[in-house]
Structure 1
Amino acid sequence: MTRPSSRTRPPQRRGPRGFVRDNGLGLFFLGAFLLSLVGQAIAGHADFNDQMAVDGLQRISLGAYVTSSDFAVDVSENWQSEYLQFFLYIGATVWLLQRGSPESKELHKAGGESDEDQMVGAYAKDGSPRWARSGGWRRTLYSQSLLLVMGTVFLLSWLVQSITGVAACNEQRLRQLQSPLSWPDYLGAAEFWSRTLQNWQSELLAVASMAVLSIYLRQRGSPESKPVGAAHDATGVEG
């Protein structure tokens, strides 16, 4: 009977601890998102009922609030600004550079880069995704898939914000005995653009701050920072 080689080891089963370790970053932010969403629902419900009391109207339950247009517009306006931030960041960093920032590519790599650099087609590796090894529209689509998904989520979130926003706005207008607005009228209204731009400016400032401050400041062990001893003008280097 042939014994297995001492070098051959059976595949190890990863338990719950291994899953949590391998997915810790995503799980942490997903959990933080859910907690903040619950907190927003509770605080928003209390604030909404305070407004209803001021108007002399009946309070509503938490369940009614989280299924209302008021809650939906508050959530969707934040989502669309976040995905706009990532959409612009992903697209801009293909071509735009920032000397000394780990958020930028190296200064000679502006653009879509070569097939060899991107490991597609004939330069694909054993572990490369199937569509990276293929050609034609599959490779083209996969090469732009991250930007396309971020842009699609942004547009859908913005659409939801506009639809739920006009509903929430008209509920308030009716309580004040004002005539409702149509959806096209709401898209040109100051309230819609105030909701939109107050989120855009904060997201864009945060990205600009990260790109510039990471030139000079460090966080040991973070891939979003250069190594602590890296030169200020070292570009595209991550810790």
Structure 2
Amino acid sequence: MKFLRNNALSLFFLAIFVAAIIGQSIAGWFDQNEQLTMHGEAPVAFLQFVTSSDFVVDVAENWQSEFLQFFLFIAATIWLVQKGSPESKKPGEQGVESDEEQYVGQYAVADSPTWAKVGGFRGWLYANSLLLVMGVIFLLSWLGQSVAGTVVANEEQAEHGLPAMTWGDYVVSPDFWNRTLQNWQSEFLAVGCMVAFSIYLRQRGSSESKEVGAPHHAGSMAAE
């Protein structure tokens, strides 16, 4: 029970993620088989669908936009501030901060992570590990989307008697960027709204909101 209580937030989102992707796979499978039946073609098995380029491109398309959102937000909040937002550092605190403020090297405490106590490449790698991992997942998802999207596009090309496209042709095509930018713009809007709305709006008890009685110009009374 202690484990569940201490990790409830992560477990909650893991559970609803699994439920959502299972739901997406089932709904997508039924939808594709309906489309195949309408065109007089044989339906596909569930396993065949979830390993198909059609399913992969839809999943990867959303993943890459989500991880790009967090990659940019993590990077931007190092140097950019929004006065009054709990999603931002206070004006004047821009930058990577000192070793003392970050408990790095000689300023590390007894239970600091081992790599926070060392310098050199390992220390740099750990100090930037969150941004790096988010960036790598974004790039892999983007690559997966582009490769699977090329396969799907070529299936459509073949249906219309058109020549196949190379990967390079597809990633500069209007179809690819139309699908990609549809996701990016919605993610950027959501982050921007979260930053701006949290200046003036509150949610009592949420760590993503400042205290209900905190002034609009203050980030969080607890951080003052």
Instruction: Please indicate, yes or no, whether the TM-score normalized by the shorter chain is above 0.5.
Output: yes
Aligned partner of 2:15 in structure 1 is: 31
Matched, 1:163 2:147: yes
| 47-56 or 35-44, which deviates more | 47-56
User: C-alpha offsets along residues 99-154 of structure 1, whole Å, 9 cap, x if unaligned?
Assistant: 00000001121000111110111111111111111111111111111101100000
Length, aligned pairs only: 223
C-alpha distance in structure 2 between counterparts of 1:153 and 1:79, whole Å: 8
Partner of 1:169: helix, strand, or coil? helix
C-alpha distance in structure 1 between counterparts of 2:60 and 2:72, whole Å: 18
Is the 1:223–1:238 Cα contact (8 Å) retained in structure 2? no
Aligned partner of 2:72 in structure 1 is: 88
Matched, 1:194 2:178: yes
Matched, 1:226 2:189: no
User: Structure 1: where are the runs of 5+ without partners?
Assistant: 1-16
Is the 1:101–1:234 Cα contact (8 Å) retained in structure 2? yes
| 49-58 or 178-187, which deviates more | 49-58
TM-score by length of 2: 0.96
Matched, 1:21 2:19: no
1:158 to partner: Cα distance? 0.2
TM-score by length of 1: 0.90
Matched, 1:182 2:134: no
Matched, 1:64 2:66: no
Matched, 1:153 2:137: yes
| 117-126 or 203-212, which deviates more | 117-126
Calculate percent identity across the aligned residue pairs: 55
1:79 to partner: Cα distance? 0.4
1:176 to partner: Cα distance? 2.8
Which structure's residues are more often helix, by fraction? 2
User: Structure 2: where are the runs of 5+ without partners?
Assistant: none
Is the 2:36–2:42 Cα contact (8 Å) retained in structure 1? yes
Is the 1:66–1:72 Cα contact (8 Å) retained in structure 2? yes
Q: Which has the larger radius of gyration?
A: 1
Is the 1:103–1:236 Cα contact (8 Å) retained in structure 2? no
After TM superposition, what 4+ stretches of structure 1 lie above 6 angstroms from structure 2?
Answer: none
Is the 2:211–2:220 Cα contact (8 Å) retained in structure 1? no
Partner of 2:83: helix, strand, or coil? coil
Is the 1:104–1:236 Cα contact (8 Å) retained in structure 2? no
C-alpha distance in structure 1 between counterparts of 2:46 and 2:66, whole Å: 26
Is the 1:102–1:237 Cα contact (8 Å) retained in structure 2? no
Work out which of the residue numbers 90, 104, 123 in structure 1 matches 2:88.
104
C-alpha distance in structure 1 between counterparts of 2:165 and 2:174, whole Å: 12
C-alpha distance in structure 2 between counterparts of 1:171 and 1:234, whole Å: 55
Work out which of the residue numbers 30, 40, 45 in structure 1 matches 2:24.
40
| 201-210 or 186-195, which deviates more | 186-195
